[in-house]
Amino acid sequence: MSGVEHSPAIAQALTEVGPRLKRLRTQRGVTLAALSEATGISKSTLSRLEAGQRRPSLELLLPISQAHQVPLDELVVAPEVGDPRIRLTPQRVNGNTVLPLTRQPGPLQTFKMILPATRCEPEPCTHEGYEWLYVLSGRLRLILADHDLVLAAGEAAEFDTRLPHWFGSTGEGPVELLSLFGRQGERMHVRAKPKAREAKAREGRAGG
């Protein structure tokens, strides 16, 4: 037990608990008095805990985590041990391979997608939200309202999903891409046009 208590990594993790508790409380605009009332822990104990003068324990941290409605591991960030790799499970959705990269619910969700070459028949749809696409490999066909675009690897597009839209393969092969989807108002501020269309637009301006 004494070996664990004197472990430098664990001692450092415990030292960081107090400032983390104070930061969480102040960010939420909660007073020591209000937190004391919610947890049953005295204001002096809470103050000493935040100042690092009181050793954190489960008896203290559990009521605080419940009062703030956050997981206990957000209050105590333990030293990293073991295998740091995250094993994500791909899903099959309408013939596409979809790998969710966002591990918690939130306004923005991120996916890695692999669209087969057979996904090439446009079926435009509309729904609430905003989407950002980045092509990793292959050629992505994007139909957005009256626009019919082809994006190559390294190109990106963003659009309001309330517009009729569809994206898939050009039929030449599979497409690998990143997709960030957010509810209305949540957007990425990155835009890119297909290089071929940019060149054609420049030629048109030069010819005019």
User: What's the pLDDT band for 186 if we cut at 50, 70, 90?
Assistant: very low
pLDDT of residue 179: 92
**120-140 residue pLDDT tens:** 999 999 988 899 999 999 999
Of 1 and 174, the structure prediction assigns the larger pLDDT to: 174
Per residue in 141-179, pLDDT (tens digit) is 999 999 999 999 999 999 999 999 999 999 999 999 999
Alpha carbons within 13 angstroms on the beta-carbon side of residue 188 total 19
CB neighbours of residue 195 within 10 Å: 13
pTM above 0.75, yes or no: no
Cβ neighbors of 132 (< 8 A, separation 6 or more) are 156, 157, 158, 179, 180, 181, 187, 188, 190
Q: What is the pLDDT of residues 13-37, one digit of tens each?
A: 788 888 889 988 988 888 999 999 9
Res 2: pLDDT: 41
Q: Are 49 and 21 in contact (CB under 8 A)?
A: yes
> 150 and 97 in contact (C-beta within 8 Å)?
no
Residue 72 has pLDDT above 50, yes or no: yes
CA–CA gap between residue 18 and residue 3 (Å, rounded): 22
Q: How confident is residue 192, by pLDDT bands cut at 50, 70 and 90?
A: very low
As a whole number, the mean pLDDT across the chain is: 80
Bigger pLDDT: 139 vs 70: 139
Residue 9 has pLDDT above 50, yes or no: yes
